[in-house]
Amino acid sequence: MTMSQLRRPDGLPSHLPADETLVMGVLNVTPDSFSDGGQHHELPDALAHGRRLLTEGAKIIDVGGESTRPGAPRVDEAEELRRVIPVVRELAAEGAVISVDTMRASVAAESVAAGALIVNDVSAGRADADMGREAARLRTHLGTPPVFIAMHWRGHSDVMNDLAVYDDVAAEVAAELAERLADLREAGVEDRFLVADPGLGFSKTAEQNWAVLSQWEQIAEHGLPILIGASRKRFVGALGVDRDQATAAISAYSAEHGAWAVRVHAVPPSLAAVTVGDRLRRSRGR
């Protein structure tokens, strides 16, 4: 692989651009999401918002039915399915590349059956012992296993802020993520379907998030495609400037460093940002 090629997973349609950092649009179907005020709770609103993200240039829509906001309670499985599956089914039928943001193997399986191509598990298989095996066993409508996004995570939302204790945060995040990736491989998930994510904002203080982000060589240590999710997080808001513009600046940085995708709420500023980052990266030959 030459350095100017992005690492990207198998299992996605060939029409997705190969040498661009993709913008993944966030579609939270939750009444309690801190990021969108919960206005996309109802199906028609959720579909309209998903279509708008696509029109704006999102290449993937990440559909989630459970808030991971610090302190958020868990939703039960039936409610998560009720929120997520109709949205996945409809947007996938319209041709969208759908990712399902879930920690439950059952929700992952139902979502793949409804047309999702990507399973985005913020717990990287830790929250549900069946997740790894299920991800390896599932087949999408393209005939392959789904892409599996494995994020660095230390615990559920009710305790995650208490777990933000590190000696060397970037090195520990990389090492813990490497353990999760090893578990997933052991469960049968192949490397070519794996994406890794350092989990900004999950059991990390603002200072720790910046430390992780600044040490890209640690983020990229595993050699897998990388997803960065900084959008509208507290450490971004704490900068005191517009959260979506600040998110876009992180998107430019991520693209310049060769991230496979950025997960964002506001697509247009991050689309412009990754376009610049990609251009710089290609020019530099990274």
Report the catalytic residues.
Answer: 233, 263
Cα(30)–Cα(129) distance, rounded to whole angstroms? Answer: 24
- Which position among 101, 110, 134, 244 is part of the footprint of ligand PMM (CB under 6 A)? 101
Pick out residues in 243-262 that bind ligand PMM (CB under 6 A). Answer: none
* SS3 state at 219: helix
Q: How far apart are CB 160 and ligand PMM at their closest, in Å?
A: 11
CB-wise, 191 or 284, nearer to ligand PMM?
A: 191
Q: Residues 16-35: x/- map of binding to ligand PMM (CB under 6 A)?
A: ----------x-x----x-x
Does the footprint of ligand PMM cover residue 197 (CB under 6 A)? yes
Residue 226 DSSP symbol: B
- Which position among 227, 255, 264, 266 is part of the footprint of ligand PMM (CB under 6 A)? 227
Pick out residues in 61-100 that bind ligand PMM (CB under 6 A). Answer: 67-69
CB-wise, 187 or 261, nearer to ligand PMM?
A: 261
Contacting residues for 51 by C-beta, under 8 A, at least 6 apart: 91, 94
Residue type, 223: G
CB 277 within 8 A of CB 251: yes
Cα(190)–Cα(120) distance, rounded to whole angstroms? Answer: 15
The strand pair at 227-228 and 118-121 is best described as: unpaired
Does the footprint of ligand PMM cover residue 126 (CB under 6 A)? no
- Select from 39-47, 170-178, 210-218, 226-234 the region that touches ligand PMM (CB under 6 A): 226-234
- Select from 47-55, 134-142, 163-171, 195-203 the region that touches ligand PMM (CB under 6 A): 195-203
Does the footprint of ligand PMM cover residue 270 (CB under 6 A)? no
Contacting residues for 107 by C-beta, under 8 A, at least 6 apart: 65, 77, 80, 81, 84, 100
Cα(27)–Cα(33) distance, rounded to whole angstroms? Answer: 10
- Which position among 75, 92, 151, 213 is part of the footprint of ligand PMM (CB under 6 A)? 151
Residue whose C-beta lies closest to ligand PMM = 229
Burial 200-227 (b: 16+ CB within 10 A, else e): bbbbbbbebbebbbebbebbbbbebbbb
Contact residues for ligand PMM, defined by CB under 6 A: 26, 28, 33, 35, 67-69, 101, 120, 122, 149, 151, 197, 199-200, 227, 229, 232, 263
